[in-house]
Amino acid sequence: MALKRDFYKGLEDILGPEFVSDDPVITETYANPVRAGLPTGARFEAITLPKNTEEVQAIVRLCNKHKVQYKASSTGWLYSDPAGPNCIKIDLRRMNHIIEINEKSMYAVVEPYVIGAQLQAECMKRGLNCNLTGAGSNCSALPLAAHVNLGHLSQSGSYGERNQLALEWVTGDGEIVRLGSLGSIDEWFCGDGPGPSLRGIIRGNTMPLGGLGVYTKAAQKLYHWPGPATFPMEGVSPKYKPAYIPPGFLVRYFSFKTLDLMIDAVLKIGEAEIATELMCFNAAMMASNLATQNMEEEIEIYNKFKDSVLGPGFMVLIAADSARDFEYKKRVLQLIVDETGGKALEEVEDPENQGGYVWRYFRETGSIKETGRVLAPQAGMVGGGDSFPLMSYFIKSCSKVKAKLIADGSLFDDGTSPFIQSIEHGHTGHGEVLARISIRVKDPRQVQRVINNASNEIAIKEFFGVPQHVWSDTLHDMYGPNASNYHLWLRKIKKTFDPNNASEASTYITAKE
Amino acid sequence: MIEKRKLVSIVSAGNVISEPSALEQYAGDMSFVNKVKPDYVVKPRKTDDIAKLIKLARETSTPLVPVSSGAPHFRGDTVPGVGGAVVVDLSGMKYIIRADRLNRVAMFEPGVTFDELIPAVTREKLRLNMPLLPRKTKSVAASMLEREPVLMPKYHWDIADPLNCVEIIYGSGEMFRTGAAAGPGSLEEQWAAGGAQVEAAGPSSASWYRIIQGSQGTMGIVTWASARCELLPSLEEPFLVGSSQLDRLMELVHWLVRLRIPNECLILNNCNLAAIMAEKWPQDYKAIKESLPTWILFYNLAGYDYLPEERISSQVEDIKDIAQRAGVEPAHTLGGVSAFELLKVVQAASAEPYWKLRAKGACHDTFFISNFQKVGELTDTMSGAADKAGYPVPDMGIYIQPIVQGANFHCEFNLFYDPENARETGRVRALATGTINSLMARGAFFSRPYGEISRTIMNKDAATVMALNKVKMILDPDKIMNPGKLCF
């Protein structure tokens, strides 16, 4: 369905002709979001490239007036970018400025197309660090851009829902709302109030994924960084050799005989507040992170690792603030590991490997390899969030499905130890099932459907909460009646702040009756 | 007009108050808001009572004013904003539902006070992240719902902390549980699975607890809340640092909080510290105040289960270096105050009489949030305004609390006055309302506006007011919940 010319002319008037296009050569390039598979379906009707909030607002208002839908995204990833008929794309790539890094108040303000690596590099020069989304440092640094915004630093640096400070929001129908101190006094340090906090409607533990207007600027908390301003690097891609281990830094991997012993160790480390990062990676994820190029290398490392581990395990990274602090934290770590029967994976302690792990874990350059791996379609399930033990049991339960799919040849056998992560020193947790579909499988989507169906049934019947893969009307309508009818309230937000349904919401929730 | 017999049918006769003298207690508070007497006060006993009360209020268009803490109240939010209201007094709902050591969380009804909850969590080797010396009658749930600042900034990851989940009956009459508590499953089923109602956000793409917080009872009535708890330390070592220069202490605070070293960490001026520590008035107060420098930083180091002595000694040494750079020196005593004594005091509710009332019998608090760079100038601005208004600046209490792990600073000015002295009262009232614009112009964000000043503050941001009213129409479409407050 072609756009009406007066609408297209309106876009040109807002942006200038060079920043809007309906050329199929251009729209086709937006029809294939990362890893969504080929071929994809519909294209966007046009692509727009606004440079500031005012232009975004003008596009949104024009769409509302002409009953055209829009989908905004910044760096974009995976499922959240469905094109469709009568829908245009708002590509925020020209909004790529770091607006402020406030060193003393430890916050940064960014536009949507500032990527994590860019913000982090600027922060590290100032002795600060930012939480990066687990999707990788090539993704937007806007805490509102990521699906959840959990990452490797979440043990000590939390995640997007809780790092968010003030922000600017163009609502679905084109109003500009500046939350918190930004609206009252034009400052970025607080996102809540006056009175009730509108942060409550613009995201939860997941994001509306572009279904509730456009977030154009946002401030987030920063954290102390005791490491170097930059990491020295040798080698060329993909064989970088980041062998530098900053003073006071340490990476270890420990595995345990049982999941309960691992949970015990994770909670004790959290309570002792000694870890900067703690991710319950399994052997396959540790191997993927270390491998530099091809499946054979990765499998070789994995085979070595899997024979060395006792069972479930975790990567723990200490980044101490002083020599005294480092000694204390090392001693406590050893005490806890001794108490819980943890076994170290020696390859991780090799200085060259360890330096690489430090770099990749802080810079989040290995996320895709850890989670999606290479050379095969990824499958899996994104769990929810509550206590660390609850999330551990949830993923353990879901791993039974993975074991069956491994047994019937649908998935590569990369083990069934769960991936879980500890957040805010063990106060909360999150977990995911990650799997790699066999290249011999003819319909990878069917394998994913099996995992989805099983995990949804487990989440509801065994009371594991609402997972973070719950998007779309179908899933909300499945979970909502089991969870305080939240879907009805979510739908009211959508209807209230986007009455014309202009903000494309198939990955959020639609305003259907 | 609501009928008494209908209220009686819900909560029983003994829990409906209609005697004028008793209603008078709810008609006003220690703030400057106008007195409005409610028609009734009801005391629900359980969630079902509250649901029925809200249903009745919707049918009869009766305003409901929820109150969780006992008197005295200070901010005007529990005084009816309009006539014909029914006050829903939740202070009798005192059940402590759960204290969970493993997951560091407690769950309790809205009437539970700090003095009641502290022993319950202490038994589980847990502790609360406390506000500064809450009054004896203060509800823990109300404190969290009001986003009151807390003393341990390293554990204050988000401004919403330490609130986790709540159960609420919205003004629409529907019950809702926020965060992980939403479901699937009952609380008991969630506990059995390993859940603990510690995830506040969600479910899914909204964080309803944030809309309920700061709403002053205008969205619904909370029937229980869960609070994030921290471990009870096995060893503690508190310190005091004095200076005549606020910026030196602020520099030290920045690094202490940035490196997440101390637990409790706050700055008081000599007036407030003396008011907190004095036992005999006025002689103790004067002696302590005179013994202190203008500004005092208090911080507390803590060790837990593993190598607590080693942890604290390492921190002491690290802080020495930082303090030296800031040009100050930590000590265990300062003037007439022992850091260990102060630690005991701030880890409990205020002794009676409430510390803010000891000096002159009444106190008005002007408070806001700002960032590191603006605290000094805002303190000067408030002092200048007090001086201009004829309020004796040396008698003004000041409390500066780093929050949100140092991203924000709560600044509080305690204006003590004699409520029997009309001139003094008028001066404080004028000062409280007259300084808002100049403080905002210099970077003060009044995130929690109460009483007379709330309209002035809300009116600075029309887009937010419009958005909040849309949310209000979703959750309380008949506008029965505490009308007249904030922008509602």
Is A68 inside any structural domain? yes
Chain B residues within an 8 Å CB radius of A324 = 314, 317-318
Of the candidates A435, A339, A425, A433, the residue with the CA atom closest to the CA atom of residue A392: A433
Is A506 inside any structural domain? yes
pLDDT above 70 coverage of chain B, percent: 100
Chain A residues within an 8 Å CB radius of B454 = 194-195
Shared domain check, A436 and A457: yes
From residue B460, how far is each of A193, B378, B411, B463 by CA, in Å? 12, 19, 20, 9
DSSP B223: E
Cβ–Cβ under 8 Å, residues B179 and B165: yes
Query: Do the Cβ atoms of B196 and A387 come within 8 Å?
Result: yes
- Answer whether B204 touches A (CB < 8 Å): yes
- List all residues 6 or more positions away from B326 whose beta carbon is below 8 Å from its beta carbon: B248, B249, B251, B252, B255
Query: Do the Cβ atoms of A490 and B373 come within 8 Å?
Result: no
Average of per-residue pLDDT values in chain B: 97
Query: Do the Cβ atoms of A189 and B466 come within 8 Å?
Result: no
Supply the CATH classification number for the domain B362-448.
3.30.300.330
- Answer whether B201 touches A (CB < 8 Å): yes
Measured between CA atoms, the residue of chain B closest to residue A466 is B203
Spatial separation of the C-alpha atoms in residues A63 and A72, rounded to whole Å: 12
Closest approach of A24 to chain B, Cα-based (Å): 33
pLDDT in tens, B169-217: 999 999 999 999 999 999 999 999 999 999 999 999 999 999 999 999 9
Residue A28: per-residue pLDDT: 84
Of A192, A328, A428, the CB nearest to B307: A328
- Answer whether B376 touches A (CB < 8 Å): no
Cβ–Cβ under 8 Å, residues B89 and B41: yes
Over residues A381-404, the mean pLDDT reads: 94
From residue B316, how far is each of A273, B255, B321, B329 by CA, in Å? 17, 13, 9, 12
Which residue, among B205, B209, B472, would best test binding to A if mutated, counting the most A CBs under 10 Å from its CB? B205
Chain B residues within an 8 Å CB radius of A102 = 371-373
pLDDT in tens, A94-126: 999 999 999 999 999 999 999 999 999 999 999
Q: Which of residues 425-444 of B touch A (CB under 8 A)?
A: 440-441, 443-444
pTM: 0.97
Cβ–Cβ under 8 Å, residues B263 and B339: no
Shared domain check, A212 and A105: yes
Closest approach of A444 to chain B, Cα-based (Å): 27
Residue A373: per-residue pLDDT: 54
The domain that holds A307 is classified in CATH as: 3.30.70.3450
Report residue A378's pLDDT band, with 50, 70 and 90 as the boundaries.
confident
- Answer whether B267 touches A (CB < 8 Å): no
- Alpha-helical segments (H) within A109-180: 116-125, 154-157, 160-163
Query: Do the Cβ atoms of A192 and B307 come within 8 Å?
Result: no
On whether the B235-346 domain is CATH 3.30.70.3450, my answer is yes
Chain B residues within an 8 Å CB radius of A162 = 157-158, 201
From residue B442, how far is each of A107, A178, B370, B438, B439 by CA, in Å? 19, 19, 9, 7, 5
Residue A222: per-residue pLDDT: 98
Of A200, A203, A427, the CB nearest to B209: A200
Closest approach of A462 to chain B, Cα-based (Å): 7
Residue A87: per-residue pLDDT: 94
Q: Which residue has the tokens 């805002």?
A: B378
- Helices A388-407 and A444-461 pack at an angle, to 10 degrees, of 140
Query: Do the Cβ atoms of B445 and A486 come within 8 Å?
Result: no
B1-232+451-480 shares its CATH topology with B235-346: no
Chain B residues within an 8 Å CB radius of A464 = 184, 193, 195
Q: Are strands B96-100 and B105-108 parallel, antiparallel or unpaired?
A: antiparallel
Q: How many CB pairs below 8 Å do chains A and B form together?
A: 326
Among the listed ranges A31-35, A54-58, B175-179, which one has the minimum average pLDDT value?
Answer: A31-35
Of B104, B207, B458, the CB nearest to A204: B207
Decide which of B300 and A29 is more confident.
B300
Shared domain check, A218 and A161: yes
Which residue, among A184, A330, A395, A421, would best test binding to B if mutated, counting the most B CBs under 10 Å from its CB? A184
Query: Do the Cβ atoms of B464 and A208 come within 8 Å?
Result: no
Query: Do the Cβ atoms of B184 and A460 come within 8 Å?
Result: yes
Our count of domains for chain A comes to 5
Q: Which secondary-structure segment (H or E) carries A431?
A: strand A428-436
Query: Do the Cβ atoms of B176 and A485 come within 8 Å?
Result: yes
Over residues B37-48, the mean pLDDT reads: 98
Is A239 inside any structural domain? no
Cβ–Cβ under 8 Å, residues B296 and B250: no
Query: Do the Cβ atoms of B314 and A328 come within 8 Å?
Result: yes
- Alpha-helical segments (H) within B158-207: 187-193
Spatial separation of the C-alpha atoms in residues A276 and A425, rounded to whole Å: 9
Residue A39: per-residue pLDDT: 52
Of B214, B314, B474, the CB nearest to A197: B214
Q: Which residue has the tokens 């993923």?
A: A395
Shared domain check, A139 and A42: no
Every domain of chain B and the residues it spans: 1-232+451-480, 235-346, 362-448
pLDDT in tens, B76-116: 999 999 999 999 999 999 999 999 999 999 999 999 999 99
Residue A37: per-residue pLDDT: 52
Query: Do the Cβ atoms of A389 and B373 come within 8 Å?
Result: no
Shared domain check, A447 and A499: no
Which residue, among A126, A169, A171, A189, would best test binding to B if mutated, counting the most B CBs under 10 Å from its CB? A189
Structural domain containing residue A26? 5-91
Chain A residues within an 8 Å CB radius of B262 = none
Q: Does the pLDDT of residue A218 top 90, yes or no?
A: yes
Chain A residues within an 8 Å CB radius of B81 = none
Q: Does the pLDDT of residue A33 top 80, yes or no?
A: no
Q: Which residues pair with A416 in a beta bridge?
A: none
Shared domain check, A362 and A270: yes
Closest approach of A266 to chain B, Cα-based (Å): 12
Chain B residues within an 8 Å CB radius of A221 = 404-405, 407
Measured between CA atoms, the residue of chain B closest to residue A489 is B474
Residue A41: per-residue pLDDT: 62
Is A231 inside any structural domain? no
For residue A231, is it left (φ>0), alpha (ψ between -120 and 50) or beta? beta
Cβ–Cβ under 8 Å, residues A214 and A170: yes
Over residues A248-275, the mean pLDDT reads: 98
Measured between CA atoms, the residue of chain A closest to residue B218 is A196
Residue A35: per-residue pLDDT: 46
pLDDT above 90 coverage of chain A, percent: 76
Is A447 inside any structural domain? yes
Measured between CA atoms, the residue of chain B closest to residue A476 is B204
The domain that holds A175 is classified in CATH as: 3.30.465.10
Of the candidates B163, B133, B168, the residue with the CA atom closest to the CA atom of residue B147: B163
Query: Do the Cβ atoms of A221 and B215 come within 8 Å?
Result: no
Over residues B42-61, the mean pLDDT reads: 98
Query: Do the Cβ atoms of A490 and B213 come within 8 Å?
Result: no
From residue B361, how far is each of A170, A388, A395, A427, B425 by CA, in Å? 48, 48, 58, 41, 11
Classified by CATH at the fold level, domain B1-232+451-480 comes out as: 3.30.465
pLDDT in tens, B436-470: 999 999 999 999 999 989 999 999 999 999 999 99
Shared domain check, A104 and A76: no
Residue A202, φ and ψ in degrees, nearest 5: -90, -15
Of A189, A197, A208, the CB nearest to B213: A197
Is A242 inside any structural domain? no
Kindly indicate whether the ipTM for this predicted assembly is greater than 0.90, answering yes or no. yes
pLDDT in tens, A129-161: 999 998 889 999 998 888 889 999 999 999 999
Chain A residues within an 8 Å CB radius of B183 = 463, 465-466, 482-484
Over residues B227-250, the mean pLDDT reads: 98
Among the listed ranges A165-174, A352-361, A488-497, which one has the minimum average pLDDT value?
Answer: A352-361
Over residues B6-10, the mean pLDDT reads: 98
Chain B residues within an 8 Å CB radius of A267 = 102
